[in-house]
Amino acid sequence: MDERVRTIDESSSFTDRPVRSAGSGRSPRSLGSWLGQHVVFVLTVLIPTLVAIVYYSLVAPDVYTSESRFLVRSSQQPMQTGLFTELLSGSSLSRSADDTYSVRDFILSRDAVRQLDETLAIRKAYSDKHVAWLERFPGLEWGDSFETFYRYYGKHVSVDYDPVSSISVLTVRAFSAADAQKINQGLLEMSERLVNSLNDRSRHDLMHFAENEVKIAAAKARDASLALLEFRSKQSVFEPDKQATIQLEGVAKLQEDLVATEAGLAQLRKLSPANPQIVGLESRAETLRSAIATEASKVTNGSSSLSAHASGFERLALESEFADKQLGIALASLETARSEAVRKQLYLERLVQPNLPDKAMEPRRVRSVFTVLLGGFIAWGVASLVLASVREHTQ
């Protein structure tokens, strides 16, 4: 009897030990075995999600975004653009679009980074030690060189251009609202200075060439006028053609007097050969012939005649007239250049001023965690299919 009781007690105690082991000793081993069986799920879903929760809850800094909107246009370009406007002033629109891209490239350039760092110390702002190591500069980058910071800058500043409305949106991301607004404001001010510089350069190029042409034409006109004046002074000739006309008119009158004198002389000789007036008329006729010869020689004969000076005078007069016309054309071109400079004047108009954000828009913590979780599930599904396929091929 005692042996049976002892046997029952021993069997019951033997049975009890496994039960206690299952209740306490097997749960860590069961968790470990589960983890071992689902290592792919743990690596692709569980661990990344836990890391994302910790990072976005405790580590990731607030990122503030400041936006501004601006428009680069010329004085000939209307504010509202459309198909009809493009057909009427397509060249103006294309030029303004080119200038908008120039402003965009400048904002994203190394020169802009240097100027911002000199005036606002943006490298110090982005390297604040209170910001998480992964987010602040240099973060995961090697070294803190200027080129490294330039790449970092490109991740926090962007310019989006809408070719339909010609409006550009400047977006600046920073770790404080004040820094984001100051950087945005600084970029707009530098862009305005760039546009003014483009205006000055364009106006200088247009006006410089036109002004040089005016100076050259004015010098030619002055030289031609002085040459003509010197010719008149030396040769005592003002205008040979007019002077010759006047001279020939005098010769014609003398010839008329001579004809009348000769007619009267012939009549006296016929009617009264002994008339004492015949001697006077003969003397008058001879004087008229001499005067006619003298006056005619002033027009046609000799190197000092008006006809001899006419060719030189006409050449100088033609040069002076041509120089005056060139000067007039140059002055007209100068006025056209001035009008063109005004017409091509560029303006950077701020449609929306840089805002001071009162709330951090990034990171989107909940959405980021769910994104990591969804990506983990996708990676887990793909990895499970790949492993199942491998097992099937190995079996």
Is residue 379 within 8 A of residue 49, CB to CB? The reply is no
| Cα-Cα end-to-end distance for the chain | 58
Mean pLDDT of the region 260-278: 73
- Categorize the per-residue pLDDT at 184 as very low, low, confident or very high, splitting at 50, 70 and 90: very high
What's the confidence (pLDDT) of residue 70? 94
The pair of three-digit structure tokens given for residue 81, joined into one six-digit string? 């653009």
Q: How far is CA 133 from CA 61, 130, 338, 364, in A?
A: 10, 9, 56, 19
Higher pLDDT, 383 or 311: 383
Is the pLDDT at 378 greater than 60? The verdict is: yes
Is the pLDDT at 265 greater than 80? The verdict is: no
Q: Please write the tens of the pLDDT for every residue from 54-87.
A: 877 776 778 899 999 999 887 664 444 444 344 4
Residues 6+ apart with CB under 8 A from 172: 65, 66, 67, 156, 157, 180, 181, 183, 184, 187, 354
Is the pLDDT at 6 greater than 60? The verdict is: no
Answer yes or no: pTM beyond 0.85: no
Mean pLDDT of the region 150-178: 91
Strands 167-174 and 346-352: unpaired
CA dist., res. 351 & res. 372, Å (int): 38
Q: Please write the tens of the pLDDT for every residue from 289-319.
A: 777 666 655 555 544 444 545 555 667 677 7
Total count of residues recorded for the chain: 395
Residues 6+ apart with CB under 8 A from 75: 342, 343, 344, 345, 347
Higher pLDDT, 200 or 362: 200
What's the confidence (pLDDT) of residue 27? 55
Q: Please write the tens of the pLDDT for every residue from 312-337.
A: 566 767 777 888 888 888 888 888 88
Rg (CA), the chain: 52
User: What is the share, in percent, of the chain residues with pLDDT greater than 90?
Assistant: 19
Q: What is the Cα 7 distance to its own chain's centre?
A: 103
What's the confidence (pLDDT) of residue 106? 94
Is the pLDDT at 379 greater than 50? The verdict is: yes
Cα-Cα-Cα-Cα dihedral of 87, 89, 90, 92, to 10°?
-170
Is residue 93 within 8 A of residue 166, CB to CB? The reply is yes
